Structure 1
Amino acid sequence: MWTRHHKQRKFGRFILPAITIAFLSYFGYHSIHGDLGLIATEEFEKQRVARSGELAALTVKREALERQVHLMSDGSLDKDMLDEIARYQLNVSRRDEIVIFNNYF
């Protein structure tokens, strides 16, 4: 009676671990360096902090503009406010005046 003996190949037992390592390496790399990975998340957080500071500055500027609009459209126009804005916009002053600009317009 003849029996077949199969020779054990070393290559066959490394296929499944090689596929597993390749799979884990691919997803591990992209979880750190990918578009939504850890490094990109840190960059997004830095941008969020910078833009929240910018938002705060713009909010303060908007509130100042709203106060000026309120003074000008309250029903009774404040003559000093109107004179100040007109002088600033037209860049006009008298000879005996000292002009200090605060750049809030």
Structure 2
Amino acid sequence: MVSRARLKSFLTGLALYTMAAAIIGYFGVNAYTGRYGLNARQELDQEIIALTSELARLKQERTEGEKRVSLLRSDRVDPDMLDERARFQLGYANPHDLIRINRPQ
């Protein structure tokens, strides 16, 4: 009888330690590979870098577009810009102009 009680006590302690180790292991693995783990953080940092560079490019593109639009404002029209836009929209070209056609590849 005494040996069964000791065996039961030993197995109960072993089971509790095993469950505690499994729970700690589960949380440890998720801390590294989970949705918000260390690997996910590295991927988010790389995405932040990519999106920041894209934002800078888009800001530059917007600035250039705003500059071109400002040249077409009614209070100060740039004659060259007006001529370029009119020819582009109407499809006309001067016989002495060099025309470069951009074709998607």
2:22 corresponding residue in structure 1: 22
Q: CA deviation at 1:87?
A: 2.4
* Distance change (3 Å), C-alpha of 1:90 and 1:30: farther
2:2 corresponding residue in structure 1: 5
For structure 1, the 5+ residue unaligned runs are none
Tell me the distance in 2 between the aligned counterparts of 1:16 and 1:90.
83
Q: CA deviation at 1:68?
A: 1.1
- The farther-off stretch of 26-35 and 7-16 is 7-16
1:58 corresponding residue in structure 2: 58
Amino acid at match of 1:50: A
* Distance change (3 Å), C-alpha of 1:90 and 1:38: farther
Asked whether 1:47 is paired with 2:39, we answer no
- Alignment root-mean-square deviation, CA: 2.2
* Distance change (3 Å), C-alpha of 1:43 and 1:76: same
SS of aligned partner of 1:40: helix
Q: CA deviation at 1:101?
A: 7.5
Amino acid at match of 1:5: V
User: TM (normalized to structure 2)?
Assistant: 0.80
- The farther-off stretch of 88-97 and 61-70 is 88-97
Tell me the distance in 2 between the aligned counterparts of 1:101 and 1:53.
30
Amino acid at match of 2:2: H
Tell me the distance in 2 between the aligned counterparts of 1:88 and 1:35.
51
Percentage of matched positions with identical amino acids? 30
- Number of equivalenced pairs: 99
1:32 corresponding residue in structure 2: 32
Q: Please give the per-residue CA displacement for 1:29-57, whole angstroms capped at 9, x wherever unaligned.
A: 11111111111111111111111111111
Compare the two structures and name the one with the higher helix fraction: 2
Q: Looking at both structures, which has the greater relative contact order when contacts are Cα pairs under 8 Å and sequence separation is at least 6?
A: 1
